[in-house]
Amino acid sequence: MSAPVEQATPPNGPPRRTARNPWKRAGAAVLLVASLGGTYAAATWLALWFSVRVPDVAVPEVVDLPLEEARSRLAQAGLRPKVVARRHDRSEPEGKVVEQSPPPHARTKPGRAVRLVVSLGPPLVVMPDLTGGSLGRARIALESAGLRLAQSASVPHPGVAVGRVVAQYPEPGAEVDTGSAASLLVSAGPPPRAYVMPDLRGVPAERARRALERAGFRRVRLRGPAGPGARIVSQRPPPGTRAATDDVVVLQAGTFEWPPEAEERGGGGRTR
């Protein structure tokens, strides 16, 4: 094998690094600072020139306007609308502007942003459960929740006491806007019973009236003469028809011999 070749050493020793001139570094730094300073000065001068030469514009009033209309008015004035927040508002519907900055009629430069706060509408509330309570209690619960009673209607119900709420709309637990209205169905008690009307003609008037009232009829109207000799001569509803206990029953009384002679002789009846 051949012997390793030794690297020759220069006669004057290892190479030396050339020393850098510190004045050159300082000069470069001075030039950089001067360049940045000139750029800043130019930018400042342009900003001042723009602020002096470009006229201000008045900020239009856009509060209480729908968002799209507010954007259009600001754009026509040369300004940029910027929605910065949305929040619930009891007095403004959803989508209307409730705040602006800068305020109306303030002076600003064209192209500046006008910050807007937009309404989400009234806050939502939970519809309370009104079923089973009285109508007065339901009204108080609605008012306490910021709601109101729209209307109520009575319906017969076999299992709920008279005057108690049997149904509601919106349903309990529904989220609704503040100020919304609820409609209620209130029990009128068990549904009335119905009967086939008997033939009461010829029955003593007072006896007929008492019989109907014992059967549950609450609206019996007895017309005509009174006294022991008064008998029923006509009735409404007529015999054989169905009538509910809350229907009006009209009994017409008269005084005559019963059975009338007309039925015995085939002639006209005799009425005293």
The CATH class, in words, for 194-265 is alpha beta
Residue 12, token pair as written in the block = 């004057």
Residues 115-159: tens digit of each pLDDT: 999 999 888 999 999 999 999 999 999 999 999 999 999 998 888
**What is 31-58 written as a DSSP string?**
HHHHHHHHHHHHHHHHHHHHHHHSPPEE
Indicate the domain borders of the chain.
30-122, 124-187, 194-265
Cα(67)–Cα(208) distance, integer angstroms? 75
Cα(228)–Cα(262) distance, integer angstroms? 22
Give the pLDDT score at 272. 38
Cα(128)–Cα(131) distance, integer angstroms? 9
Residues 218-237: tens digit of each pLDDT: 999 999 988 888 999 999 99
What pTM, to 2 d.p., does this model score?
A: 0.46
pLDDT for 17 beyond 90: no
CATH number given to 124-187: 3.30.10.20
Residue 164, token pair as written in the block = 């108690």
Q: By the 8 A CB rule, do 139 and 165 touch? A: no
In the β-sheet with 148-155, what is the strand arrangement from edge to edge? Answer: 148-155, 181-187, 165-169
Q: Do domains 30-122 and 124-187 have the same CATH topology?
A: yes
Name, in order, each residue with C-beta under 8 angstroms of 235's C-beta and a sequence gap of 6 or more: 197, 200, 201, 249, 250, 251, 252
Domain 30-122, classified CATH 3.40.1010.20, yes or no: no
pLDDT for 67 beyond 80: yes
Could you say which DSSP state residue 19 is in? P
